[in-house]
Amino acid sequence: MKRMLAVLALTTALVCPGLAMARPVTLTTTLKNYGGNGAYVAIYLTDAKGAYARTLWVAGRKAKYYEHLSDWYRATGGRGAIDGITGASVGSGRTLEVSVELADALFDAGYTVHVDTAVEDMRDAPNEIAVPLTKAASGQTVPGRRYVAGFGYRL
Amino acid sequence: MIRTAHRWPGIAALALVATLSLSGAALSVFPAAERLVAPQAAPGMSVAELAAGLQAAHPGIEQIRRAPSGRITAYWTDDGVAGSAVIDPVTATAVAAAAPDPLERWLTNLHRALFLGDAGRIGAAGGAAIMLLLTLSGSLLVARRVGGWRRWFRPLRGPLPGRIHTEMARLAVPGLLLSSVTALWLAASTFGLLPDQGAPPRPIPPASGLTGAPVAEIPALVSIPVASLRRLDFPAAGDRTDVFTLKTSQGTGYVDQGTGATLGWSEDGWWAQASETVYMLHTGRGVPVLALLLGVTALAVPAMGATGLAVWLAARRGKPRVTGNAAAAPAETVILVGSEGGSTWGFAATLHRALTRAGQLVHVAPMSSFDPARTTAARRYLILAATYGDGAAPASADRFLDRLAGMAAAPAAPLAVLGFGDSGFPDFCGYARRVEAAARAKGWQPLLPFATVDRQSPQAFARWGSALGAALGIALELDHRPAPPATVPLTLVARREFGQDVQAPATILRFAIPGTSFAACLSGSGFARFQAGDLLGIVPAGSAVPRFYSLASGSDDGFLEIAVRRQAGGLCSGQLTTLPCGGKVDAFLRRNPQFHAGNAATPLVLVGAGTGIAPLAGFVRANTRRRAIHLIFGMRHPDSDFLYGDALTGWLADGRLATLTTASSRGASPRHVQDALAADPTAILDAVRHGGRIMVCGGRAMAAGVAEAIARLLERQGLSLAQLRTEGRYVEDVY
């Protein structure tokens, strides 16, 4: 029993480093008027080595289209745990604003926020945004290459 | 049962399936258009050749896509500027913008989701399910109507809307089946209900980290022809760990950008390939001929909706509601109805009510759906049959006799046949008699002797009811009050008097056509369409019983015209002949197809006397095609009751009327029409020899005299009047 508790404590600590020090972060993604159907958007983190770490949000509910968010799809095998962090696809010219809990330890630790986008019958835009996750960058907005007019996060 | 399952979903979902079909039909044009304009790759061209050519033109190439039509689209970012275009694969040059067509996108969103997102997708899928249900139930109904699947394309009879509906259905069924089934598959796929997603990407072995393999020499790209390419993604610029991603009709592969080695390959599963095929069959992408065929088929859906609605409205109008109709299988008494205009259904409803009240399970059905295999519990059959034209089957008894003749044996349960008709017509209850004779010949046991009801007589019906009750051992009282026809007030706009001086006052009355509802226009009911020879039923004030007058005009004339002789003490004729202009009467229309002039070019001999000239004048007035029409008209005195005298002179002059012969019973040389016929039989004999037709309208005595005179004329030529009658070339409208 004691051993079990220790294992539990260990795994919990590994999975949620500094759970007590998590803070809400607002992710804002504004799309251009690209003149197409609603865009699928995946926002996710990679660690300092470039390895996939965690999915923050997926806009668009039809799993059959996820392959078009190709970097994220390949990183997660298309079977990423996304329960509770999915919403509707984002229309042309609309803004997606979501709030996620991020541990303090993730900031300024070499993590990168990525945004993949895709629109039906238009070109896919994997890794359209890649910005380092730092406290200093809070409130700043960066433009994307294809569909994203501006992306930023706010602590 | 099947009819119900066909009708109600059809009516309820008419707007939805029409929207889906029309948008689908519009979308069906795009695959063909795309195929026509898209430059095609040379046969045998490899993906490597295509990719190398494009990379030379656009060093920042990111993705190449190939649509099933062969259209190739390339996406690139050269010097930081994103570009895209539809590409001619042979020259690697741009030929058109890559942006999707906005109209096609709009139509697609309407077609698959009604612009309502996921709720709309579910709605559209529901529409496809209803379309499938309608197609299946409709196919069963067609098979039943034509007498089996093997006779699918047998010629049809019956009223026009129903015929058009069935004709279109017979051609459209395969396409609609394909479209609706594939639509349901696609909807299931979209909502993740099918295991048809492409294989999940297997973890790719780490890339070599090298770059710069010449695209033209990568083995995987060299070995795959452009025809099977779906998509090729180039590695992201500056990312050494990225790879080429190649999607073909078979699966997905990854290629190292430094060594050109294939790092992994996953085949699409059976489900994914099936979904691809279904997508192709539904959209016609890559098979433009199929797309166009399905599009044309889809166009039939709104047309079938309109005609189906018309059929339903006509049936609803003509058929009184039988409340609590028992199902076919458990019914002990089966009433089969052969009705043309609908009044026989009224009698059937009364009989059904009385028998049901006596505790029986009673099933009422049209004679056309006679099928003893479905009425296994039947202990007796009752047939109520009217007659259409000269002894022909009425509309709701279509093919009954064929079906009976085709049976190995008559049903074991006994049968009673009751005929409905008008004894003023030749061959009174002719069809019912033929049914009775056919049943006896087949050995069908009689329940009651054959009986008839003349002119909807409630007394005759009640008598038959007591006989039936006696045979069943129950007290059966049939109290039938015919449902009053739905009347419309007509306004008199013009009138003209005749015959005052010869004690035969008659009036030509002209009424305005009342406004008709959209439903009436659609089904051709009410006053929307009529022609000379049809009957105007007028319900006089103070009576519920309508009187019928032959129309002297068609809807094309823009008015309703009748001729009325004032009867001594006549209620209706009294009201009509004294009706002032602007006054109103309650009236309804009854079609009288056996007394229409028809479209033939053969000669027409019209014989009439007194107000009987009305429909004949209408035929002449409508004769704009200058068919040879000969009119023989009898009156009392040309100065007093020559109805339509002025108009006839004009029609003689303009050729609508070939010859006019008159007979006056008073004056210098009195004679009747039959005398005129005998004196100069040229027109009659000429018409008979050239396949023409004789139409007689007037009083009963006059009609009898004319028939006798003509029979004598024909006999001398070795011809018979009876023969002409059975060919429908001698018809009478008598009163």
Model confidence pLDDT, tens digit, residues B216-274: 999 999 999 999 999 999 988 877 878 898 999 888 888 999 998 888 888 888 888 89
The structure tokens listed for B429 are: 């209850």
Mean pLDDT of chain B: 87
Asked which of B187-201, B398-412, B437-451, B647-661 is least confident by mean pLDDT, the reply is B187-201
CB contact, 8 Å: A86 with chain B? no
User: How high is the pLDDT of residue B24?
Assistant: 96
Closest chain A CA to residue B197: A64
Rounded Cα distance, B185 and A68, in Å: 21
List pLDDT tens digits, range B340-373. 767 788 899 999 999 999 999 999 998 988 889 8
Rounded Cα distance, A114 and B495, in Å: 89
User: How high is the pLDDT of residue B154?
Assistant: 76
Please return the burial class of B521, using the count of CB atoms within 10 Å of its CB with bins 0-12, 13-18 and 19+.
middle
List pLDDT tens digits, range A131-141. 999 999 999 99
Domain A20-154 has CATH 2.30.30: no
B189 neighbourhood in chain A, CB within 8 Å: 64
CA angle in degrees (0–180, nearest 5) for B131-B137-B138: 80
Q: Return the higher-pLDDT residue of B313 and B496.
A: B496
Contact B201 A126 (CB under 8 A): no
Average pLDDT score over residue span B599-625: 91
Chain B: give the shortest CA distance to residue A151, in Å: 19
Most trustworthy range by pLDDT among B16-25, B467-476, B588-597: B16-25
Rounded Cα distance, A79 and A77, in Å: 5
CB contact, 8 Å: A84 with chain B? no
Cβ atoms within 10 Å, residue B314? 19
Question: Which residue, among B71, B107, B245, B271, would best test binding to A if mutated, counting the most A CBs under 10 Å from its CB?
Answer: B245
Contacts of B470 (CB under 8 A, 6+ apart): none
Contact B201 A50 (CB under 8 A): no
Rounded Cα distance, B700 and A12, in Å: 107
List pLDDT tens digits, range B679-692. 888 888 888 888 88
Of the partner residues A62, A78, A120, the one whose CB lies closest to the CB of residue B201: A78
The structure tokens listed for B564 are: 């009325």
pTM of this structure: 0.61
Whole-complex ipTM = 0.78
pLDDT tier for residue B500 given thresholds of 50, 70 and 90: confident
The alpha carbon of B663 is separated from its chain's Cα centroid by a whole number of angstroms, namely 46
B residues 405..424 contacting A (CB < 8 A): none
CB contact, 8 Å: A36 with chain B? yes
Domain B599-735 has CATH 3.40.50.80: yes
CB contact, 8 Å: A83 with chain B? no
Buried residues in B410-428 as b, exposed as e (16+ CB within 10 A): bbebbbbbbbbbeeebbbb
Q: Would you say residue A3 has pLDDT above 60?
A: no
Strands, E, within B353-448: which ranges?
362-366, 380-385, 415-421
Percent above pLDDT 70 for chain B:
94
CB contact, 8 Å: A146 with chain B? yes
Instruction: From A77, A41, A131, select the one nearest B264 (Cα to Cα).
Output: A77
Instruction: From B137, B128, B149, select the one nearest B8 (Cα to Cα).
Output: B137
Average pLDDT score over residue span B334-343: 84
Rounded Cα distance, B710 and B480, in Å: 41
Would you kindly state where each structural domain of chain B is located, as residue ranges? 2-32+104-196+290-311, 47-89+203-268, 319-472, 484-596, 599-735
Q: Which fold has domain B319-472?
A: Rossmann fold (3.40.50)
User: How high is the pLDDT of residue B723?
Assistant: 83
List pLDDT tens digits, range A8-37. 434 444 444 444 578 899 999 999 998 888
Would you kindly state where each structural domain of chain A is located, as residue ranges? 20-154
pLDDT tier for residue B484 given thresholds of 50, 70 and 90: low
Of the partner residues A37, A62, A77, the one whose CB lies closest to the CB of residue B190: A62
Closest chain A CA to residue B63: A123
CB contact, 8 Å: B266 with chain A? no
Length of chain B measured in residues: 735
Rounded Cα distance, B93 and B203, in Å: 36
Q: Return the higher-pLDDT residue of B382 and B591.
A: B382
Q: Would you say residue B694 has pLDDT above 80?
A: yes
Strands, E, within B360-487: which ranges?
362-366, 380-385, 415-421, 451-454
CB contact, 8 Å: B69 with chain A? no
Contact A78 B200 (CB under 8 A): yes
User: How high is the pLDDT of residue B734?
Assistant: 80
Residue B145 half-sphere exposure toward CB, CA atoms < 13 A: 24
B203 neighbourhood in chain A, CB within 8 Å: 77
Buried residues in B435-473 as b, exposed as e (16+ CB within 10 A): bbebbeeeebeebbebbbbeebeeebbbebbebbbeebe
Asked which of B386-390, B473-477, B706-710 is least confident by mean pLDDT, the reply is B386-390
pLDDT tier for residue B421 given thresholds of 50, 70 and 90: confident
Instruction: From B227, B257, B263, B233, select the one nearest B245 (Cα to Cα).
Output: B233
Tokens 């008027």 belong to residue = A33
Report the amino acid identity of residue A45: L
List pLDDT tens digits, range B42-55. 888 999 999 999 99
Question: Which residue, among A46, A73, A74, A127, would best test binding to B if mutated, counting the most B CBs under 10 Å from its CB?
Answer: A74
Please return the burial class of A135, using the count of CB atoms within 10 Å of its CB with bins 0-12, 13-18 and 19+.
exposed
Rounded Cα distance, B156 and B588, in Å: 29
Percent above pLDDT 90 for chain A:
50
Q: Pairing mode, if any, of strands B659-664 and B629-635?
A: parallel
CB contact, 8 Å: A126 with chain B? yes
pLDDT tier for residue B477 given thresholds of 50, 70 and 90: confident
List pLDDT tens digits, range A110-126. 999 999 999 998 888 88
Rounded Cα distance, B588 and B604, in Å: 29
Domain B484-596 has CATH 2.40.30.10: yes
CB contact, 8 Å: A63 with chain B? yes
Q: Would you say residue B417 has pLDDT above 90?
A: yes
Question: Which residue, among B61, B84, B105, B271, would best test binding to A if mutated, counting the most A CBs under 10 Å from its CB?
Answer: B105
Instruction: From B552, B574, B554, select the one nearest B565 (Cα to Cα).
Output: B574
User: How high is the pLDDT of residue A4?
Assistant: 45
Of the partner residues A35, A67, A123, the one whose CB lies closest to the CB of residue B84: A123
Of the partner residues B75, B100, B200, the one whose CB lies closest to the CB of residue A36: B100
B residues 386..405 contacting A (CB < 8 A): none
The secondary structure element, H or E, covering residue A98 is: strand A95-103
B residues 112..141 contacting A (CB < 8 A): 117-118
Rounded Cα distance, B173 and B117, in Å: 29
A74 neighbourhood in chain B, CB within 8 Å: 201, 204
List pLDDT tens digits, range B54-78. 999 999 999 999 998 899 999 998 8
Strands, E, within B220-278: which ranges?
229-233, 243-248, 251-256, 262-267
User: How high is the pLDDT of residue B499?
Assistant: 84
User: How high is the pLDDT of residue B203?
Assistant: 61
Contact B136, B176 (CB under 8 A): no
The structure tokens listed for B443 are: 């050995």
User: How high is the pLDDT of residue B520?
Assistant: 59
Rounded Cα distance, B619 and B611, in Å: 14
Percent above pLDDT 90 for chain B:
44
pLDDT tier for residue B517 given thresholds of 50, 70 and 90: low
Contact B203 A77 (CB under 8 A): yes
Instruction: From B283, B342, B348, B641, select the one nearest B497 (Cα to Cα).
Output: B641
Contact A74, A68 (CB under 8 A): no
Rounded Cα distance, B26 and B653, in Å: 53
Phi-psi region of B732 (alpha: psi -120 to 50; beta: other; left: phi over 0): beta
